[in-house]
């Protein structure tokens, strides 16, 4: 879920800032800006920063701690499960989450072995995918060597573009103004579903039932915070997944090592049927222990084999 959220947050940001919107904020909410940019200039810089940020993010490994809680009718905790992962990119493709702890206790030797086998299988599948894509690309180049057509994209790139095009159709955006957050200027952008658009893909149906607000760093053009609410029920199949009206979502990022932005917290609270519970629940995910990932880094259940880098404090961000 984390990767999809990050991608959606970035694309919503780009789409929002690309709109010709009216500033509806009160004068007291605005923070001083050193330079006023047009929407076109903002989106160009945002896309450029995003590409740079992706390359840098690949160099990091970090911890992801998920606290899943089942709640009773009064909102009190009935059951808690905690899973801790090391997150990194061991091979070409998406982020990989390797389970290293359950309920804040290290895995047994048997479970560690199973997780290592899962990782080996994942990298093997990614290698086959890349080899197949390269074969298709070579065939395409032979066929279209002189017609000037751009080469085909791989699956991940196609999905990113589809989401980018879709989000601009799903939402109407309003620039509410600017303010300061942790000593930095941020844009405040509201997102409301476009009632005229008829969703086609599953993720479009989900976004079309959500409204929210984004805080975007005015210097780095990265998402700082997102808050969103589900105003209608969403489900996949009859029994696979259901999220009921009223679910609330929060997302936060932090500036890491003065060079990139990565998630610091996600929060989801609601009712429905999800992977870990049926009924009332909340999930709080925190990200920490950001370290530079080296090609010789050995991923185990023990932290400390890479250079540690923590999110900047408020003073560091100024």
pTM across the whole model: 0.76
Alpha-carbon distance of 243 to 40, in angstroms, equals 36
Q: Which of 192, 270, 190, 193 is nearest to 233 (CA)?
A: 270
pLDDT for res 22: 34
What DSSP state is assigned to residue 34?
S
pLDDT for res 35: 60
Alpha-carbon distance of 290 to 62, in angstroms, equals 4
**Residue 310 structure tokens:** 């923590």
Q: Considering just the CA atoms, what is the radius of gyration of the chain in Å?
A: 21
Res 300 pLDDT > 60: no
Res 40 pLDDT > 70: no
- What is the b/e burial string over 209-232, where b = at least 16 CB atoms within 10 angstroms of the residue's CB? bbbbebbbbbebbbbbbbebebee
% of the chain residues with pLDDT over 70: 69
Q: Which residue has the tokens 């992801």?
A: 64
Q: Which residues are bridge partners to 284 per DSSP?
A: 67, 267
């Amino acid at each position: 879920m984390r990767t999809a959220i990050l991608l959606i947050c970035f694309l919503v940001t780009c789409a929002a800032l690309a709109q010709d919107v009216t500033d509806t904020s009160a004068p007291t909410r605005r923070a001083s800006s050193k330079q006023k940019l047009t929407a076109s200039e903002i989106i160009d810089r945002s896309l450029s920063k995003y590409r740079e940020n992706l390359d840098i993010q690949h160099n990091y490994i970090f911890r992801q701690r998920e606290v899943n809680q089942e709640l009773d009718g009064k909102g009190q905790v009935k059951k808690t499960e905690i899973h801790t992962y090391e997150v990194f990119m061991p091979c070409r493709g998406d982020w990989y989450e390797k389970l290293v702890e359950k309920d804040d206790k290290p895995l047994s030797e048997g479970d560690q072995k199973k997780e290592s086998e899962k990782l080996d299988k994942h990298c093997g599948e990614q290698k086959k995918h890349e080899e197949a894509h390269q074969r298709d690309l070579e065939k395409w180049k032979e066929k279209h060597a002189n017609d000037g057509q751009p080469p085909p994209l791989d699956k991940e790139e196609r999905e990113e573009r589809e989401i980018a095009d879709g989000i601009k159709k799903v939402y109407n955006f309003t620039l509410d103004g600017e303010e300061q957050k942790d000593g930095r200027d941020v844009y405040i952008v509201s997102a409301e579903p476009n009632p005229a658009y008829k969703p086609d893909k599953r993720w479009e149906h989900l976004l079309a039932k959500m409204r929210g607000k984004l805080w975007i760093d005015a210097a780095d053009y990265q998402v700082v915070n997102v808050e969103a609410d589900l105003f209608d029920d969403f489900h996949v199949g009859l029994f696979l997944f259901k999220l009921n009206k009223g679910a609330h979502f929060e997302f936060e990022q932090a500036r890491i090592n003065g060079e990139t932005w990565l998630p610091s917290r996600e929060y989801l609270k609601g009712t429905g049927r999800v992977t870990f519970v049926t009924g009332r629940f909340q999930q709080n995910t925190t990200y920490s222990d950001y370290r530079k990932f080296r090609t010789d880094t050995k991923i185990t259940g023990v932290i400390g084999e890479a250079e540690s880098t923590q999110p900047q404090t408020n003073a560091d961000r100024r």
